[in-house]
Chain A
Amino acid sequence: MADEPSRSTNRTTCWSCKGPVADAALFCDTCSAIQPPGQADHFTRFGQPVAFDLDPPALEAAYFDLQRKLHPDRFATRSGREKALSQSQAVAVNEAYETLCDPLRRAAYLLSLRGRKADVDRDSTINDPALLMESMEAREALADAETVDEVVALSQETTAKIRACEQELAAAFAANDLDQAGELTTKLKYLGKLAGEARARRLKLAGRG
């Protein structure tokens, strides 16, 4: 597994001018025709290092930059083949962005890149007794909260825990401690759920007023 965006030396054929084109190039150097998306990990697609720690504004800037070039809106009056390629490029870019911009999905993706399974979509049981206890207490506190202020206080507490968990995750990935990263990913998932419940409750209280 390459940890750096690898400099590819492979050449494939441009479908349009039939000349050589570098692997993973977006456009043909010669005839500027759009190329198929190719196989690249999500980080490499945005020119980012493969790491949990990433700079959200840089990711977003890279995302907008790619979509500006590749989005089907740029190819509305072009040939059918170019339209289809633009769609598959835009699909690949969207998938990469949506995976990376959410810390939980980013963590799960990094685990999968390193051969570990992390199912963030389904309910996995919490094995850690301390985490289980903490989770139950937090839910009770939220259920008892009656005012927006109380909910906001709980939300802020959860947000702080999420930030801390993300920092620990970055450290675990940097040290390549995948067991630890797996546990922290489960924790992050539970914290995210809790934050969502707090948000829903706060909006409900706001809507009533």
Chain B
Amino acid sequence: MLLQIHEPGQTPLPHEGEQTKAVGIDLGTTNSVVAVIRDGEAQPFRDEDGSALVPSVVAYAPDGSAIVGAMAQQLALSHPDRVVSSVKRLMGRGAEDIKTVAGTLPYDIEPSDGGMVKLRIADLILSPVEISADILRGLKERAEEALGGEVQKAVITVPAYFDDAARTATRDAARLAGLEVLRLVNEPTAAALAYGLDEGVEGLYAIYDLGGGTFDVSLLRMQKGVFQVRSTGGDAALGGDDFDHVIAERLMAERGTKDPSRAEVRTALTTARMIKEGLSDQDSGTWYMEAEGVRSEHSLSRDDFEEMITPLVQRTLDTCLSVLEDADVFPEDVKGVVLVGGSTRVPLVRRRVAELFGQEPLADINPDEVVAVGAARQADALTGGSDTLLLDVAPLSLGIETMGGIVEKVIERNTSIPVSMAQEFTTYQDGQSAMMVHVVQGEREMVDQCRSLGKFILGGIPPMTAGAARIKVTYSVDADGLLTVSAREETTGVEQTIEVKPSYGLSEDDMATMLRSSMENARGDMEWRLLAEARVEAGRAVDALDAALKVDGDLLEAAEREELVDAGKAVRTAVQGDDRDAINSAVERLDTASLPFAQKRMDRGIGKALKGVAMNDLEHRVGPSDAQ
């Protein structure tokens, strides 16, 4: 660690993240939680009733303003048409994806031409990204009220099994809400982080996470500050909501409803949820449901309920087995099983998980809060600096379409991220001047069985005979699990790069429009971000100069040194102001002024290196076997 010496009267550069706290957010299907680390303690933000859960429900007032959380949930009773819930299920989804379940979804889907889903809520038409942004704003405000200051940075959790489209949609939502995402962290990984750091467990652990709308299971190895994900699997469309759906279907069948109205579906789902929760504590019961002027009575036992959900629970167990297989381990190798998500309160789930792993699962940390606590730990580690190391994997294989609609995998699932892999392709026709790159995600062999993430065309390939071109396609997945694809024709260097904006995602134009309409100060916000970046860069430049002067300052004449120090001072002064151009040009002047110094330092460095070589060579040359 280098000591930094500052000129008298000059304060150190304000480093980003010191003034404001970074929070951890569990953005859930049914409920969300926001937490922070204070004095080393994880603290979820609670309401007056002590609850950390913020229902992921948004009510839209006639003036377009959004009400988030418990109050929105209450409004659902009186103004069902103005309230939207479970929107996470639609993140990154296209209209095509949800047709099959639209009948039982409590939303009005606005027909659209293949792009991302839009919902009609009273007189508004909103995308899931915008609605999620409203939830995030609500959470941000809750944290700001409690902390008494602005919150700009967050770690947000996503299901491990979220595909690229859904991850991108989540990042976009945060951007709309004015939050900088330090990292997207997988939910089971966040839960493991909370257990590893707060409970001090070590060894191989399975995290079984059954939420409202998603199921994830991850196997992690935890040891002295290292959290290494070994394998992960899940289902982005399986959760406690599905338990509600099977009960609701039964209720409607018992009522003899053939073509239910939306209001009836809603009431049936609400009743179903009460039944599910009731049967977690009691063996049987009778419930009443009233909709469309018809009152009906329904008796269910826990056995009935368990029989109905057995196929769903079995699906989660099958996924557990494949995750074990991927990691090359058996159930008895797993030292502990952590339960996450409200749906793990269902007794059948607990029982079957315990049977599979041959042990009682852990639930020491509240399963509703554990993910947010882990996210807050990671936010703290990213801004405060810590020795904790989190090594995550790509949850799904990423491939490219080849001849005949067959998928060639470029990155296999469970590969450690960040990762970058390349494959070479060629043209199949004489004189072919363009090639389409179709990026898909999934484990199946045929393109139409996988999820399409995007297509782009590499053009400008010079005329060559078939098979002569060498087109290198590179897939890169960053630490957030987001994919960038580039293609390059190797013989000519023609290149195209796209950040995969999924077919169902938002275009940059959409994003800009939303930013404008949602925040009057969108421009100011962007300007603020650029200014912050310029300050970080300027800080790096003067720190580098200070370090160089300390080591090689003797190479300079007094006058040269003074010139450099002055240039450094000018940067420091510029950083105190809010003029980004002034900062950038001060840094540029510093760069130019330090060129001769850099040259002298390089000469000295090479001189030293040559000395080293001479010594080494000498040793070799005096050796007996080395004929000169």
A73 to B418, CA, bound (A): 11
The stretch among A14-22, A39-47, A126-134 that forms the contact with chain B is: A14-22
A207 to B594, CA, bound (A): 67
Number of A-B contacts (CB under 8 A): 140
Determine the chain A residues whose CB is within 8 A of the CB of B390 once the complex forms.
Answer: 71, 73
Q: Mark B375-394, 1 if CB is under 8 A from A, else 0.
A: 00010011101010111000
B598:A73 contact, CB within 8 angstroms: no
Q: Mark B1-32, 1 if CB is under 8 A from A, else 0.
A: 01000000000000111000000000000000
Contact of B606 among A11, A76, A77 (CB under 8 A): A11
B479:A82 contact, CB within 8 angstroms: no
Size bracket of the B interface? 35 or more
Determine the chain A residues whose CB is within 8 A of the CB of B226 once the complex forms.
Answer: 64
Q: Mark B320-334, 1 if CB is under 8 A from A, else 0.
A: 010011001011000
Whole-angstrom distance between the Cβ of A160 and the nearest chain B Cβ: 17
Determine the chain A residues whose CB is within 8 A of the CB of B541 once the complex forms.
Answer: 16
Contact A87:B533 (CB < 8 A) given known A20-B606, A68-B387, A76-B182: no
A98:B416 contact, CB within 8 angstroms: yes
Determine the chain B residues whose CB is within 8 A of the CB of A88 once the complex forms.
Answer: 420
A13:B598 contact, CB within 8 angstroms: yes
Q: Mark B583-626, 1 if CB is under 8 A from A, else 0.
A: 00000000000110110011011101110110010000000000
A154 to B151, CA, bound (A): 58
B417:A203 contact, CB within 8 angstroms: no
Determine the chain B residues whose CB is within 8 A of the CB of A206 once the complex forms.
Answer: 321, 330-331
A19:B478 contact, CB within 8 angstroms: no
Determine the chain A residues whose CB is within 8 A of the CB of B601 once the complex forms.
Answer: 18-20, 30
Determine the chain A residues whose CB is within 8 A of the CB of B15 once the complex forms.
Answer: 77
B548:A31 contact, CB within 8 angstroms: yes
Contact of A77 among B324, B383, B418 (CB under 8 A): B383
Contact of B602 among A10, A11, A73, A204 (CB under 8 A): A11
Does chain B have a CB within 8 A of A106? no
Q: Mark A63-88, 1 if CB is under 8 A from B, else 0.
A: 01001100111101111111000011
Does chain A have a CB within 8 A of B354? no
A91:B420 contact, CB within 8 angstroms: yes
Does chain A have a CB within 8 A of B435? no
A206 to B550, CA, bound (A): 65
A20 nearest in chain B by CB position: B605
A17:B382 contact, CB within 8 angstroms: no
- Of A29, A88, A203, which is in contact with the most chain B CB atoms at under 10 Å from its CB? A203
Q: Is the interface of B mostly helix, strand, loop or mixed?
A: helix
Contact A10:B389 (CB < 8 A) given known A78-B536, A203-B330: no
Does chain B have a CB within 8 A of A90? yes
Does chain B have a CB within 8 A of A173? no
A202 to B15, CA, bound (A): 54
B478:A87 contact, CB within 8 angstroms: yes
Q: Mark B559-601, 1 if CB is under 8 A from A, else 0.
A: 0000000000000000000000000000000000011011001
Does chain A have a CB within 8 A of B108? no
Contact of B382 among A14, A73, A87, A204 (CB under 8 A): A73
Whole-angstrom distance between the Cβ of A69 and the nearest chain B Cβ: 10
A33:B479 contact, CB within 8 angstroms: no
A199 nearest in chain B by CB position: B325
Does chain A have a CB within 8 A of B552? yes
Determine the chain A residues whose CB is within 8 A of the CB of B182 once the complex forms.
Answer: 76-77
Determine the chain A residues whose CB is within 8 A of the CB of B183 once the complex forms.
Answer: 73, 76
Does chain B have a CB within 8 A of A174? no
B551 nearest in chain A by CB position: A30
Contact A72:B418 (CB < 8 A) given known A11-B609, A87-B479: yes
Does chain A have a CB within 8 A of B545? yes
B544:A17 contact, CB within 8 angstroms: yes
Does chain A have a CB within 8 A of B547? yes
Does chain A have a CB within 8 A of B348? no
A22 to B605, CA, bound (A): 9
Contact A203:B325 (CB < 8 A) given known A18-B594, A18-B595: yes
- Of B15, B331, B381, B602, which is in contact with the most chain A CB atoms at under 10 Å from its CB? B602
Whole-angstrom distance between the Cβ of B497 and the nearest chain A Cβ: 13
Whole-angstrom distance between the Cβ of B404 and the nearest chain A Cβ: 17
B597 nearest in chain A by CB position: A18
A122 to B2, CA, bound (A): 50
B419:A94 contact, CB within 8 angstroms: yes
Contact of B544 among A16, A67, A95, A207 (CB under 8 A): A16
B612 nearest in chain A by CB position: A9
Instruction: Name B414-429 residues within 8 Å CB distance of A.
Output: 415-420
A49 to B594, CA, bound (A): 41
Determine the chain B residues whose CB is within 8 A of the CB of A11 once the complex forms.
Answer: 602, 605-606, 609
B479:A71 contact, CB within 8 angstroms: yes
Determine the chain B residues whose CB is within 8 A of the CB of A77 once the complex forms.
Answer: 15-17, 182, 382-383, 536
Q: Mark A179-200, 1 if CB is under 8 A from B, else 0.
A: 0000000000000000000011
Point out residues on A near B: beta carbons under 8 Å.
Answer: 7, 9-11, 13-14, 16-22, 29-33, 64, 67-68, 71-74, 76-82, 87-88, 90-91, 94-95, 97-98, 199-200, 202-204, 206-207
What are the 6 tightest A-B residue pairs by CB atom distance, in nearest-first order? A20-B605, A18-B598, A17-B544, A31-B544, A31-B547, A76-B382
Contacts A21-B605, A91-B420 supplied; 8 other A-B pairs, CB < 8 Å = A9-B610, A20-B606, A30-B550, A76-B383, A80-B533, A94-B417, A207-B317, A207-B321
List 10 A–B pairs whose Cβ atoms lie within 8 Å, in order of A's numbering: A11-B606, A13-B602, A16-B544, A31-B543, A31-B547, A64-B226, A90-B418, A90-B479, A94-B418, A206-B321
